[in-house]
Amino acid sequence: MGKNQHVTPHPGGEWQVKGSGNSKATKVTSTQAQAIKVGRKIANNQKSELLIHGTDGKIRAKDSHGNDPHPPKG
């Protein structure tokens, strides 16, 4: 399982995708939607979790692409 990916605000009004524990962004985009798309692809490839933060820095959504201990029941 790879590093969890975080979509967070980037200084300058842009958005970034950053792996947990990384000091540098993996990708910087102009919109949050673009960052989510990139982050989702990386998380899916690494079978990790995507954590989407709001402009206030708080986590507003999670999207698991790995071994989810609580998968949805359907």
Residue 35 resides in a domain: yes
Q: What is the pLDDT of residues 25-52, one digit of tens each?
A: 999 999 999 999 999 999 999 999 999 9
Contacts of 49 (CB under 8 A, 6+ apart): 4, 5, 43, 62, 63, 64, 65, 66
Q: What is the pLDDT of residues 6-22, one digit of tens each?
A: 999 999 899 999 999 99
User: How many folded domains does the chain comprise?
Assistant: 1
Residue 73 resides in a domain: no
> What does the alpha-carbon distance between residue 39 and residue 41 come to, in Å, rounded to a whole number?
5
Residue 72 resides in a domain: no
Give me the domain span that covers residue 37: 5-64
Residue 43 resides in a domain: yes
Residue 9 resides in a domain: yes
Residue 25 resides in a domain: yes
What one-letter code names the amino acid at 11?
A: P
Residue 42 resides in a domain: yes
Contacts of 22 (CB under 8 A, 6+ apart): 3
Residue 52 resides in a domain: yes
